[in-house]
A and B are shown apart, each in its own frame.
Chain A
Amino acid sequence: MCPDQLDPEIIKRDFPIFKRRVYGKPLIYLDNAATTQRPRQVIEAILEFYENYNANVHRGVYRLSVEATEAFENARAKVAKFINAKDSEIVFTKNATEALNLVAYSWGLSNLKKGDRILLTEMEHHSNIVPWQIIAKYTGAVIDYIPFDEEGLLIKEEIDRLLNLGPKIVSITHASNVLGTINNVKEIVEKAHKVGAIAVVDAAQSVPHMPVDVKEIGCDFLAFSGHKALGPLGVGVLYGKRDLLEEMNPFLGGGDMISRVYLSSAEWNELPWKFEAGTSSVADVIGLGAAIDYLNSIGMDKVRAHEVKLTEYALKRLSEVPDIKIYGPRDLDKRGAVISFNLHTIHPHDLATILDEEGIAIRAGHHCAMPLMSKLGVAATARASFYIYNSESDIDALIEGIYKARRIFNL
Chain B
Amino acid sequence: MTSEFYRDRIIDYYRNPRNYGSIDDAEIKVHESNLLCGDDIELYIKLDEEKKVKDIKFKGRGCAISVASASIMTELLKGKKIDELLTFTKKELVDALGIETLGLNPSRIKCALLPYKALKIGVYNFLGKEIGEEKEYLLDYEAEESL
Chain A residues packing against B (C-beta within 8 Å): 23, 345-350, 353-354, 356-357, 364-366, 370, 373, 379-380, 408-410
Contacting B63 at CB < 8 Å: which of A23, A349, A356, A370?
A: A349
A408 to B61, CA, bound (A): 20
Q: Is the C-beta of B141 less than 8 angstroms from some C-beta in chain A?
A: no
Q: Which residues of B contact A356 (CB under 8 A)?
A: 2, 105
Contacting B62 at CB < 8 Å: which of A347, A408, A409?
A: A347
A373 to B40, CA, bound (A): 14
Nearest CB of B to A348, in Å: 7
Q: Mark B47-62, 1 if CB is under 8 A from A, else 0.
A: 0000000000000011
Q: Which residues of A contact B111 (CB under 8 A)?
A: 349
Known: A366-B38, A380-B39, A409-B14. 12 other contacts (CB 8 A): A23-B1, A347-B39, A349-B65, A349-B107, A350-B65, A356-B2, A357-B2, A380-B38, A408-B3, A408-B11, A409-B6, A409-B64
A345 to B40, CA, bound (A): 16
Q: Which of B4-50 contact A (CB under 8 A)?
A: 6, 11, 14-15, 36-40
A159 to B10, CA, bound (A): 47
A379 to B36, CA, bound (A): 10
Q: Is the C-beta of B80 less than 8 angstroms from some C-beta in chain A?
A: no
Contacting A348 at CB < 8 Å: which of B37, B40, B65?
A: B37
Q: Which residues of B contact A348 (CB under 8 A)?
A: 37, 63
Closest chain B residue, CB of each to CB of A349 = B63
Contacting B37 at CB < 8 Å: which of A345, A349, A409, A410?
A: A349
Chain B residues packing against A (C-beta within 8 Å): 1-3, 6, 11, 14-15, 36-40, 61-65, 105, 107-108, 111
Contact call B37/A380, Cβ cutoff below 8 A: yes
Closest chain B residue, CB of each to CB of A355 = B2
- CB-defined A-B contacts under 8 Å, sample of 20: A347-B39, A347-B63, A348-B37, A348-B63, A349-B37, A349-B39, A349-B65, A349-B107, A350-B64, A354-B2, A354-B3, A356-B2, A357-B2, A364-B37, A366-B38, A370-B38, A373-B38, A379-B38, A408-B6, A409-B64
Nearest CB of B to A144, in Å: 25
Nearest CB of B to A90, in Å: 34
Contact call A350/B3, Cβ cutoff below 8 A: no
3 nearest interchain CB pairs? A379-B38, A347-B63, A349-B63
Closest chain B residue, CB of each to CB of A404 = B3
Nearest CB of A to B42, in Å: 14
Contact call A353/B37, Cβ cutoff below 8 A: no
Q: Which residues of A contact B63 (CB under 8 A)?
A: 347-350
A348 to B38, CA, bound (A): 11
Closest chain A residue, CB of each to CB of B103 = A357
Q: Which residues of B contact A379 (CB under 8 A)?
A: 37-40, 61
Q: Which residues of B contact A365 (CB under 8 A)?
A: 36-38
